[in-house]
Chain A
């Protein structure tokens, strides 16, 4: 009697598919993510200056046309072309998201480096400040800041930056603490380098890759934050319509049954977010192939 292996095991082993199947899946993911992001950059940088179409052009006789050949995304309640409005909205959202993420990354790197290099009480106070900001829900803090300063680009941008530097600060602090005990830092100290010089020349460059990754990852969330504020009517002024403003504007026509002015601006938020997540996932898989979870850094 031959000992035949149990044919259909109810569970597959816990490892991932290896070999060509896995590689092609990853290539597809990286390729499509990079393609989407490239398309986004081109659309945002090239289309508005090159395509001489006025996104605000009102054609009341064309109002609320469903998606079709003339208007791929349809038109809104003033007859404005939605594709054009979405591209312009993405431009505004991306601008706010990227600048807020940059400010947050600089702030987080500064606080993290300061806390780790000064140590002692300064470290404790700075990290408790991080905990304090982290214990207020981000959007609530944003709503509070924008409410006091009145909607505008700067309050929105700063309120996003003020809530997105926490993880960068924590990551940078941990990295600096580990870098600080490396031999090259000892060498710099025995060479007579000042504390400031060590921080700027030896520690900060070492944490930049981590801080940069954290900054890139916070761009989609910053865009989300901006659109949520704009949707609540506490974001950007309407002449700078972002994707959130577009969704807010579309509420009236949605209740009248027109779905396209709501659907497309949202897709413009979802798809770049997924692309960034896809690239970040592939990047992390590359630097840490044994990491099994998508959920840890």
Chain B
């Protein structure tokens, strides 16, 4: 057993990269295969309402220009080679290059997700420790039950109820958007005010898992020898709980942080829609409702990349923080 070194970590990242390449190829290929198998017609989608009145000759010409008649594998290869040079095609909904749509909106999604995630981790740790202090107590029951109820509640429903309570009933927070309507500039304070509700709802939807895992980890750690030893040495309960039990109880949570990316993306998809947050997830919904294939393909691929990065992050964090785990085992 050796101390984790940067070289081992880099080797792990490299191994994951090698594994990610065939996986991404498979996923994008499947996306094109699904599109080819579906009744979706790229020509009609491109022409839009004009396609209804256009004659057959125009449609045929359009099909030829778009390369719609060729087998999907050829179109996939073309898309892939273009994507590697940064050209992801054009979005029909936003009338912009896909790469530009993604780049512009990614910032706001990242802001929302990072804020929500940080809040969920901090609040989840606090509540989990509170519940684990006395398993079976009233506090524990209350926190655990609340976590179960929250994990059963659909996030869009929580979001709508939050809008009703905070924006309509109490009138303290804006109901949606990035800035006040009519404001021309993006003012940080304004954005922060608009961020509270969506980030709060997203955090609440991610909270139950953290609470339950921290509670479990700390409860288990409290029954272990190091804690018994610390108590025997006469350390204060506070030191035992926060210095010993929490430190080892947090380890499983670190792994969880990376593997929660799919749920975070799902949550963001729904939360951004409810709050009209101009992020990438809300763009997915508009892309889907008007079948913007280029944008959908790019978004599916980038979501897959995000999930893989999350998994890598989880393993790196585990390897770095847990001396019992070697990078070679991951």
Closest-by-CB residue of B relative to A136 is: B304
Taking the closest CB of chain B, its distance from the CB of A274, in whole angstroms, is 5
**A131 is an interface residue with CB less than 8 A from chain B:** yes
What residues on B are CB-neighbors of A295 within 8 Å?
A: 212-213, 216
**A259 is an interface residue with CB less than 8 A from chain B:** yes
B-contact bits for A1-18, CB 8 A (1 contact / 0 none): 000000000111111110
In whole angstroms, how far apart are the Cα atoms of A140 and B135 in the complex? 38
Judging by beta carbons under 8 Å apart, are A269 and B157 in contact? Answer: yes
**A288 is an interface residue with CB less than 8 A from chain B:** no
Judging by beta carbons under 8 Å apart, are B304 and A135 in contact? Answer: yes
Q: For residues 21 through 47 of chain B, which have their beta carbon under 8 Å from a beta carbon of chain A?
A: 23, 26-27, 30-31, 34-35, 38-40
**A39 is an interface residue with CB less than 8 A from chain B:** no
B-contact bits for A267-280, CB 8 A (1 contact / 0 none): 00110011001000
Judging by beta carbons under 8 Å apart, are A262 and B27 in contact? Answer: no
B149's partner among A13, A148, A224, A270 (CB-CB below 8 A) is A270
Q: For residues 119 through 141 of chain B, which have their beta carbon under 8 Å from a beta carbon of chain A?
A: 133-137
Closest-by-CB residue of B relative to A265 is: B157
Taking the closest CB of chain A, its distance from the CB of B10, in whole angstroms, is 22
B-contact bits for A212-228, CB 8 A (1 contact / 0 none): 00000000100010011
Judging by beta carbons under 8 Å apart, are B307 and A137 in contact? Answer: yes
Closest-by-CB residue of A relative to B20 is: A135
Judging by beta carbons under 8 Å apart, are B266 and A140 in contact? Answer: yes
B-contact bits for A126-139, CB 8 A (1 contact / 0 none): 00110110011111
Judging by beta carbons under 8 Å apart, are B288 and A143 in contact? Answer: yes
Judging by beta carbons under 8 Å apart, are B303 and A136 in contact? Answer: yes
- Taking residues whose C-beta sits less than 8 angstroms from the other chain, chain B's interface range is 35 or more
Judging by beta carbons under 8 Å apart, are A147 and B152 in contact? Answer: no
In whole angstroms, how far apart are the Cα atoms of A110 and B249 in the complex? 38
What residues on B are CB-neighbors of A121 within 8 Å?
A: none
Judging by beta carbons under 8 Å apart, are A12 and B152 in contact? Answer: no
Judging by beta carbons under 8 Å apart, are B153 and A140 in contact? Answer: no
Stretch in contact with the other chain, from B48-56, B76-84, B191-199, B217-225: B217-225
A11's partner among B40, B148, B163, B222 (CB-CB below 8 A) is B222
Judging by beta carbons under 8 Å apart, are B299 and A232 in contact? Answer: no
Q: For residues 14 through 33 of chain A, which have their beta carbon under 8 Å from a beta carbon of chain B?
A: 14-17
**B320 is an interface residue with CB less than 8 A from chain A:** no
What residues on A are CB-neighbors of B307 within 8 Å?
A: 135-137
What residues on B are CB-neighbors of A13 within 8 Å?
A: 223
Judging by beta carbons under 8 Å apart, are A234 and B289 in contact? Answer: yes
Judging by beta carbons under 8 Å apart, are A228 and B296 in contact? Answer: no
**A146 is an interface residue with CB less than 8 A from chain B:** yes
A contacts with B, residue count (CB < 8 A): 55
**A257 is an interface residue with CB less than 8 A from chain B:** yes
Judging by beta carbons under 8 Å apart, are B270 and A12 in contact? Answer: no
**A115 is an interface residue with CB less than 8 A from chain B:** no
Taking the closest CB of chain A, its distance from the CB of B137, in whole angstroms, is 7
| Majority secondary structure of chain B interface residues (helix, strand, loop or mixed) | helix
Q: For residues 279 through 307 of chain B, which have their beta carbon under 8 Å from a beta carbon of chain A?
A: 284-285, 287-289, 291, 293, 296, 299-300, 303-304, 307
B284's partner among A128, A140, A228, A269 (CB-CB below 8 A) is A140
In whole angstroms, how far apart are the Cα atoms of A257 and B136 in the complex? 40
In whole angstroms, how far apart are the Cα atoms of A292 and B223 in the complex? 12
Q: For residues 159 through 213 of chain B, which have their beta carbon under 8 Å from a beta carbon of chain A?
A: 160-161, 163-164, 168-169, 175, 212-213
Judging by beta carbons under 8 Å apart, are A137 and B270 in contact? Answer: no
The verdict on A233 contacting B289 (CB below 8 Å), with A11-B134, A16-B136, A132-B23 known, is: yes
A138's partner among B220, B262, B289 (CB-CB below 8 A) is B262
Judging by beta carbons under 8 Å apart, are A232 and B285 in contact? Answer: yes
A293's partner among B148, B216, B300 (CB-CB below 8 A) is B216
Judging by beta carbons under 8 Å apart, are A232 and B273 in contact? Answer: yes
What residues on A are CB-neighbors of B157 within 8 Å?
A: 247, 262, 265-266, 269-270
Q: For residues 242 through 271 of chain B, which have their beta carbon under 8 Å from a beta carbon of chain A?
A: 261-263, 265-266, 269-270
What residues on B are CB-neighbors of A247 within 8 Å?
A: 154, 156-157, 160
Judging by beta carbons under 8 Å apart, are B148 and A274 in contact? Answer: yes
**A185 is an interface residue with CB less than 8 A from chain B:** no
Closest-by-CB residue of A relative to B311 is: A135
**B237 is an interface residue with CB less than 8 A from chain A:** yes
**B308 is an interface residue with CB less than 8 A from chain A:** yes
**A283 is an interface residue with CB less than 8 A from chain B:** no
Closest 7 CB pairs of A and B: A147-B288, A266-B157, A148-B38, A14-B223, A273-B152, A137-B262, A139-B266
A selection of 19 A-B contacts at a CB cut-off of 8 Å is A13-B223, A14-B223, A15-B135, A128-B23, A132-B27, A136-B304, A137-B263, A137-B266, A138-B262, A144-B288, A145-B38, A228-B154, A228-B156, A232-B273, A270-B149, A274-B148, A277-B148, A294-B216, A295-B216
Q: A137-B261, A254-B164, A273-B152 are in contact. List 11 more A-B contacts (CB 8 A).
A: A11-B222, A14-B219, A128-B23, A144-B288, A144-B300, A147-B291, A148-B40, A228-B266, A247-B157, A255-B168, A274-B149
A residues with CB within 8 A of B: 10-17, 128-129, 131-132, 135-141, 143-150, 220, 224, 227-228, 231-234, 247, 250-251, 254-255, 257, 259, 262-263, 265-266, 269-270, 273-274, 277, 292-295
